Structure 1
Amino acid sequence: MNHPIHVHSEIGKLKTVLVKRPGKELENLIPELLPQLLFDDIPYLKVIQEEHDFFAKTLRDQGAEVLYLEKLASEALHTDELKAEFAERILNESKANVNGSFQHLKEYLLSFSTEDMVDKIMSGVRKNEIEAKRKTHLYELMEDHYPFYLDPMPNLYFTRDPAASIGNGLSINRMRQPARRRESLFMEYIIKHHPRFANHDVPVWLDRNFNFPIEGGDELVLSEEVIAIGVSERSSAKAIERLALNLFSKQDKVKKVLAIEIPNCRAFMHLDTVFTMIDHDKFTIHPAIQSPEGKMNVYTLEKGPDADHLKITHSEDLKQTLKEALGLEELVLIPCGGGDEIVSAREQWNDGSNTLAISPGVVVTYDRNYVSNELLREHGVKVIEVLSSELSRGRGGPRCMSMPIIREDI
Structure 2
Amino acid sequence: EPACLTEERSYFCIPPVRFHGEKESIFHIVTCPLLRNAVSNLFQGRSFQYRGVSVAFAEKKRRKAGLSKFNDGLLSHRNWRKVTLAFRELTQNHLPNCQLIKGLEYGSEDVTILENGLALVSTGLKFPGLPSNPDIPGNIQLIDLRVGVNPVVLPIKGSFDTASFNPHGISVFTDEKDGSRYLFVVNHPHGGSQIEIFRFDEDEYTLLHIRTVKHELLQSVNDIVAVGVDSFYATNDYYFTNHILRTLEPLMSLTWCNVVYYSPNEVRSVSEGYPSANGINISPDKRYLYVSDILRHRIGVLEIQKDHSLTHIKDVEVGSIPDNIEVDPETGDLWIGCHPNGLKFVLCNPNDPPGSEVIRIQNIHSEKPVVTVVYEDDGSVLVGSSAASPYKGKLLIGTVYHKALCCDLQ
Bucket of the pairwise TM-score, normalised by the shorter protein: 0.3 to 0.5
Greater RCO (Cα-Cα under 8 Å, separation 6 or more): 1
* Structure number with higher helix proportion: 1
